[in-house]
Chains A and B, each alone.
Chain A
Amino acid sequence: MATKSLKARNNDIANTSRQMEILSNGIFADGELPTFAAKIKETNQFPLRPKKLEILQINLGYMCNQVCEHCHVDAGPDRKEIMTLDTMKQCLEVIQKTKAHTLDLTGGAPEMNPNFRWFVEEASKAGIKDFIVRSNLTIIRANKKYYDLPQFFKKHNVHVVSSMPHWTRGKTDKQRGDGVFDKSIKALQELNAVGYGLAGSDLKLDLVYNPSGAFLPGDQQALENDFKKALKDEFDIDFHSLFAITNLPISRFLDYLIASENYEDYMISLVDAYNPTAVKNVMCTNTLSISWDGWLFDCDFNQMLNLKVASKVKHIKDYNEELLQDRNIIINQHCYGCTAGAGSSCQGVVA
């Protein structure tokens, strides 16, 4: 299990232009597989355009207490990219005037940003009603200063969305690191204790399932049933919904696919599972992604590939929603990850 990010290891894949090269060449360049652009042209869905903006997804920094094998952010304890107070203030100005109703905070571990709580409080004052925090769970148990996070989340009615790759210790720890399963279970129990995830509770607790390997997620509802039964029977844990999310061939997951000689087969699986219906609702059509340093992207994946929005407005300081909404979404072969099977987004399946 790696304990350092690709960036800290000076791995070739940490370079985003190298990733783009891999995604644009090989089986896609020699015509064995159709490019994503060619594929969506078949159903007249090119160019991909935004619909009504609903979600601002803000990445508060790439620092994380975990170094998950599949992380598309290449997050870890050694990543120092953290959103500053100044950039947060620029985001707050946008939050006051945006038509988006949901603020989705991600990372890294967003809670590790020293101004995380201040930002949530200020965004709350600015009128945000729907907060999502993408919490890795173990952060709640990582240090005393985080022990009261469940109470903090409750106070601001934050919708907690947490990663949980499997209901067994073995599969979870293999993907996320030794001891992650036990800490995650404890964190879920603590969230339940303050009212999160209980049937009928307004305190929403959803889990995210990513496959722990070079295969696609199965049926979201069936997986949710299995997770619910196992977590309830063994640990008396309740949660609301499970989002099955496909791993995209980016960053550490791409590195894993290449190193394990699964890259081509995985891309073939994604292309074979292409579902044109899923294209209609991919998350880049209703979300804007903002990086720790204020740049704007169509989604968190494009952020990790450093593909800034194709608009005159590229930075939060110049934010203009009308101009931004009139843009073409940047696509490449990684987009097949969001259109496979029932589709995949930060909110789970889309088709």
Chain B
Amino acid sequence: MSKNYYDANDLRKFGKITEWSEDLGNKFFDYYGKVFEEGALTAREKSLIALAVAHTEQCPYCIDAYTKDGLQRGITKEQMMEAIHVGAAIKSGATLVHGVQMMNKVNKLEM
């Protein structure tokens, strides 16, 4: 057992989750593969969405995977950083929009 919670080498072993639950694991990977296929959105657009979500989810494996995926697709570092800002803006917006809830509560409770 590793002394670290995260190990970069574990990303390559992702597929092994099927070993302990084959049916569900395979269904997940089929679904995952299908999601990232070219569709109404391009595979490139999906890669950028995945990169932004990887950051808001703060998943180091996903960040590793989708940074490399972006480079492979010719996505520039400026485009990647802007995508992350979209994620960050929604994260901070989601925090701040709850400020209205706080304001509503204060307005209700205060005389």
Contact = CB atoms under 8 A, between A and B. Distances in A.
A222 interface: yes
Interface string A293-316: 000000000000000000000000
Interface stretch (A13-21, A94-102, A193-201, A209-217): A209-217
A335 B74 CA distance: 24
A239 to B, nearest CB: 15
A330 interface: no
B27 interface: no
B71 A213 contact: yes
A222 B73 contact: yes
A168 B79 CA distance: 12
B73 A218 contact: yes
B68 interface: yes
A274 to B, nearest CB: 14
A217 B76 contact: no
Given A167-B74, A209-B74, A218-B69, 15 more contacts: A166-B74, A168-B76, A171-B76, A211-B71, A211-B72, A213-B71, A215-B71, A215-B72, A218-B72, A219-B43, A223-B73, A226-B73, A226-B74, A268-B12, A272-B12
Contacts of B76: 168, 170-171
Interface string B31-63: 000000000001110000000000000000000
B44 A222 contact: yes
Contacts, number: 32
A217 B12 contact: no
Nearest to B72: A218
B70 to A, nearest CB: 9
6 contacts: A211-B71, A213-B71, A216-B72, A222-B44, A223-B74, A268-B12
Interface of A: 166-168, 170-171, 209, 211, 213, 215-219, 222-223, 226-227, 268, 272
B33 to A, nearest CB: 14
Which 4 pairs between the two chains have the least Cβ-Cβ distance? Answer: A218-B72, A218-B73, A215-B71, A215-B72
Nearest to B38: A222
Nearest to A341: B72
Contacts of A209: 74
Contacts of B74: 166-167, 209, 218, 223, 226-227
A316 B43 CA distance: 47
A166 B72 CA distance: 11
Nearest to A216: B72
B39 to A, nearest CB: 13
A220 to B, nearest CB: 11
A209 B74 CA distance: 10
A168 to B, nearest CB: 6
Contacts of A226: 44, 73-74
Contacts of A223: 73-74
B9 to A, nearest CB: 9
A211 B74 CA distance: 8
Interface in B1-27: 12
Nearest to A272: B12
A222 B12 contact: no
B77 to A, nearest CB: 9
A222 B43 contact: yes
B68 A215 contact: yes
Contacts of B44: 222, 226
A283 to B, nearest CB: 22
Contacts of A170: 76
B104 to A, nearest CB: 47
